[in-house]
């Protein structure tokens, strides 16, 4: 038999129990928040200590195109897959535009001489005028050559789009008053075609990726802008570059 609704009385709740329940819920919320924050701090510290080279992008295995090297032999971008390679744009007719970069490349060429799994690749940004003869003369002047160091040309449109869109360089090569303007930064590609950059600690928990722009580093050094570094900008950047290459060479191709 059901009790009529009119005869029911509202329950009287104990205020002390309600306060205890509220305090317990508040304490649980605080403890949970502290736990989450503590876990975040541990994760952030771990990330900050992780100095492995950062990922910037990847060369699509379908982004294939042919190039002509300084000895007039043909090659393909895919010939570099599975290797660690350092690539940049250059103008051999304007050596001043990649002077600092060139000095670093020469040291890399000596350091990794004879390695079958390392290559230096310099794309001329002016392939229509800087043909294999001009590229061969530039290589001879530097005392470098195949197979370790490639000077290459291809269709100008392909080269410019590859440097800007695929390698993520900051400037699409173009001419101003008859001079080539382009980004001469070095780009490091690992065995799995990933574009990699050094990871530099900034503050307690933050890290940021570092572009290997030696022309800019040289300008900062000339201006005395060391920003508290123990060494010059160029020396610090080159150490990061070598460390990055060494780590990538030690890694096998992902199956």
As its CATH architecture, domain 54-249 has 3-Layer(aba) Sandwich (3.40)
Residue 52 confidence (pLDDT) above 70:
no
| For range 126-134, the mean pLDDT | 96
Give per-residue pLDDT as tens, 4-24.
545 555 555 666 666 666 666
Tell me which residue of 126, 131, 143 sits closest to 70, measured CA to CA: 131
| pTM (predicted TM-score) | 0.77
Q: What is the mean pLDDT of the chain?
A: 83
Instruction: Please report, for the chain, the start and end positions of each structural domain, with discontinuous segments joined by +.
Output: 14-49, 54-249
Q: Higher confidence at residue 62 or residue 72?
A: 72
| For range 135-152, the mean pLDDT | 97
The whole-number pLDDT of residue 119 equals 98
Helix, strand, coil tally for the chain in percent (to 5): 40, 20, 35
3 state SS for 62-126: CCCCEEEECCCCEEEHHHHCCCEEEEEEECCCCHHHHHHHHHHHHHHHHHCCCCCCEEEEEEECC
Residue 244 confidence (pLDDT) above 50:
yes
- Tokens 């303007």 label which residue? 181
166 with 219: CB under 8 angstroms?
no
Give per-residue pLDDT as tens, 189-218.
999 999 998 765 544 444 457 789 999 999
Of 26-30, 111-115, 117-121, 203-207, which gets the smallest average pLDDT?
A: 203-207
The whole-number pLDDT of residue 37 equals 40
Model confidence band, residue 224 (pLDDT cutoffs 50, 70, 90): confident
The whole-number pLDDT of residue 24 equals 66
Q: Which residues contact 127 (CB under 8 A, 6 or more apart)?
A: 153, 154, 155, 156, 159
How far apart (Å, rounded) are the C-alpha atoms in residues 13 and 17?
Answer: 8
How far apart (Å, rounded) are the C-alpha atoms in residues 197 and 243?
Answer: 11
DSSP 19-40: HHHHHHHHHHHHHHHHHHHHHH
Give per-residue pLDDT as tens, 38-47.
443 343 344 3
Q: Which residues contact 106 (CB under 8 A, 6 or more apart)?
A: 142, 144
Of 70-79, 175-184, 205-214, which gets the smallest average pLDDT?
A: 205-214
């Amino acid at each position: 038999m059901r009790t009529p609704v009119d005869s029911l009385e509202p329950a009287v709740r104990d205020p002390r129990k309600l306060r205890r329940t509220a305090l317990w819920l508040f304490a649980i919320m605080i403890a949970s928040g502290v736990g989450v924050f503590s876990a975040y701090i541990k994760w952030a510290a771990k990330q900050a200590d992780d100095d492995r080279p950062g990922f910037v992008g990847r060369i699509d295995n379908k982004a294939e195109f042919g190039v002509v090297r300084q000895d007039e032999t043909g090659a393909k971008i895919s010939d570099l897959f599975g290797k660690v390679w350092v690539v940049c744009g250059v103008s051999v007719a304007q050596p001043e535009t990649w002077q600092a970069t060139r000095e670093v490349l020469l040291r890399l060429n000596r350091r990794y001489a004879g390695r079958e799994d390392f290559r230096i690749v310099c794309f001329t940004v002016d392939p229509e005028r800087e043909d294999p003869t001009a590229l061969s003369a530039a290589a001879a002047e530097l005392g470098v050559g195949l197979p370790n160091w490639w000077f290459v040309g291809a269709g100008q449109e392909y080269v410019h789009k590859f440097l800007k869109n695929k390698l993520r360089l900051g400037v699409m090569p173009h001419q101003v008053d008859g001079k080539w303007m382009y980004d001469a930064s070095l780009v490091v590609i690992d065995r799995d075609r990933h574009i990699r950059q050094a990871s530099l600690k900034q503050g307690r928990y933050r890290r940021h990726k570092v572009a290997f722009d030696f022309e800019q580093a040289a300008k900062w050094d000339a201006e005395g802008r060391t920003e508290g570094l123990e060494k010059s900008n160029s020396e610090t950047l080159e150490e990061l570059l070598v460390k990055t290459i060494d780590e990538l060479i030690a890694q096998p191709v992902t199956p």
